[in-house]
Amino acid sequence: MQRPPVPPSRGMSGTAGPGGVGGFNATGGSGTGVMGMGGMGGMTGGGFRPGTGQVAGLGGTGRPPVGSSWGGRPGSSLRGPAALGEGPLGVTAAADVRVAERPVTQQGVRGMKSAHRGPGRQIFDRTYYLTLLRQKNQELSAEIQTFRKEIDTIQKEAQLALQYEKRYDQLIKLVRSLEGDLADFNLALDKRRTDTRLEEVLHMYRVLKASNEQQRLELDSIFLEKKQHEEEVERIEEEIAEVRKVSEERLGELHPEQRAEYSSLQEENRALMQDIVQLRQELEDTNSALSSMEGRLRADASRMKAQHLRESLEELEKRKAEVDRAASQRKLTVPEQRELLMQKVKEDNAAILAAERDLETERNEVEKLQRGLAEVQADVEDTKGGGKLQKYQVLFSKDEEMTEFIKNFDDRKEQEESAISEKQKSVVSLLESISKQAKRENNLPTFEKVADVRDEIDFKNQQLENSKLTHERLQGELEKRTSELRRIADIDEKINVELSTLGKKIEVMKDELANKFSSTDELRAAAAEEQTALERRRDLLTARAPAVKRHMEEAKLQADSKAQQLADDQTHQHLEELETKLRQFEQVCR
């Protein structure tokens, strides 16, 4: 019977040998096996189990001798009688197949193990180090290239960030301007919704314009003042520098002992300045401590009680002084008491008049405030019905006036009281002077003497006026003659200048008569040459004229195309619309 072929999954191809039973050569995945003659042939191969041909001391029967070592799994030639050709290879379905129990070892069900890696390079020669150096060089080059790319990216991002910041600033400015325009439009719409008249809007515009103009003038004045102060500071600093320079020069001229004395004085001055700063700081600390202690004392109840008792004592002393004065008045004679009583009556009358004036003033203020309150109430009622902006502004201004009046009422009251007291004193002094003049009535001159004195005074005043007029007239004549004298002097100077100029012109003309106009032929030749040159230039320009015209036409076409592109640009159209709206608003505001 023939031997069955080797399955293709084994990866082998076999050919029968010249002798023996079915000898064949087998090739595997990584090696070859040869089965010899005179017995069962084994197979060898890299990575396969060893065949019977690789076992030392195998005989023709294919059995290993006693004491020989078996290095691997038995081959297929030892697995049963079918492999030796002793029986049929096929089995029936009813055959009793018994599988020998054996342990699963090595590549039983796990597949083949890969070959172990060798020991590697044993000698590190020049080629190895060059290869390693090339690898490191390539890695460094790749890393440097990566860093360069990152640097370029960072630089581009920085440039983009600067551009974005500039763009952001521009957009912020644009947004601010557009917000201002939007606020103006919203204000105009509000005025439109509230049925505000155009006159009121124009009035508000003029008021705001005047306010802005005033603020602008104030800012200009402040700027000029600041600039003036800066110039003054620079001038003072320059003067200080000059003074220091002069002082240093003088110090350089001093004796060494004097220079040392000056240095010691400077050190002493610096020490004193430091002491002054320290003492000022101590003074400020003391003042702050004093103010805090005063605050504590003001908050002290015993101190407040002592202050109250002191005021009560002063009031009692005043009462005592009044009682003593009344007692002293009782000791006076009747005429003295009458005179004192008359003086007191005058003082009381003056005080009563002052009080009545104050009362009248306060009454007028109250009436004024009541009228203002009535107007405000009427405006409030009108506002509830109509709600005009002008009425609200009037109400707001009156409210401010009332608040200002209430705020400054005490100060104004004190000022008025002080003015009234001063006027009372002046009235008393006038009454005293009148009484003194009444006592001097007997010593006054007669009306005739007074009239004579007045006539004389009028005559002297008239003479003084005439003298003043004469002096002014003579002064005007003097100025007129002085101006005429200056004009005459100027005319003399002009005449001298003109004479010198005419003399020079006469000399030039004589020179021309002697030299220039005597050679008419040369002048004609020069004129003919100049005419010829001008004609050549005219011909040249005439020849260049068409090219210049073509260039102008091309430039005109380019300008027209640019103008068309500008007209088609949406941004330009939007700007033109905004300019049109702005002109309309300006016309409305006018």
How much of the chain exceeds pLDDT 90, in percent?
8
Q: Which amino acid would we find at residue 581?
A: K
Residue 206 or residue 95, greater confidence = 206
Q: How far apart are CA 231 and CA 438, in angstroms?
A: 65
pLDDT the model gives residue 76: 43
Whether the pLDDT of residue 527 is over 80: the answer is: yes
pLDDT tens-digit map of 405-458:
777 777 877 888 888 878 777 777 777 766 666 665 556 666 677 777 778 888
Whether the pLDDT of residue 108 is over 70: the answer is: no
Q: Which two tokens stand for residue 198?
A: 């155009």
By 3-state DSSP, what share of the chain in percent is helix, strand and coil, each rounded to 5?
75, 0, 20
| Among 175, 169, 180, 173, CA closest to 582 | 180
Q: Which two tokens stand for residue 401?
A: 């006036």
Residue 59 or residue 460, greater confidence = 460
Secondary structure letter of residue 194 according to DSSP: T
Which residue do the tokens 């294919």 mark?
A: 62
Whether the pLDDT of residue 129 is over 90: the answer is: no
Q: How far apart are CA 281 and CA 291, in angstroms?
A: 15
Q: How far apart are CA 13 and CA 23, in angstroms?
A: 12
Q: How far apart are CA 566 and CA 573, in angstroms?
A: 8
Task: Specify burial of residue 76 (Cβ count, 10 A radius: 0-12, 13-18, 19+).
Answer: middle
pLDDT tens-digit map of 299-326:
777 767 777 788 888 888 888 888 887 7
Q: How would residue 217 be classed by pLDDT, with cut points 50, 70 and 90?
A: very high
Q: How would residue 116 be classed by pLDDT, with cut points 50, 70 and 90?
A: low
Average pLDDT over residues 157-161: 90
Phi-psi category of 419—alpha, beta or left, where left has phi over 0 and alpha has psi -120 to 50? Answer: alpha
pLDDT tens-digit map of 528-565:
899 999 999 889 988 888 888 888 899 889 888 888 88
pLDDT tens-digit map of 270-283:
888 888 888 888 88
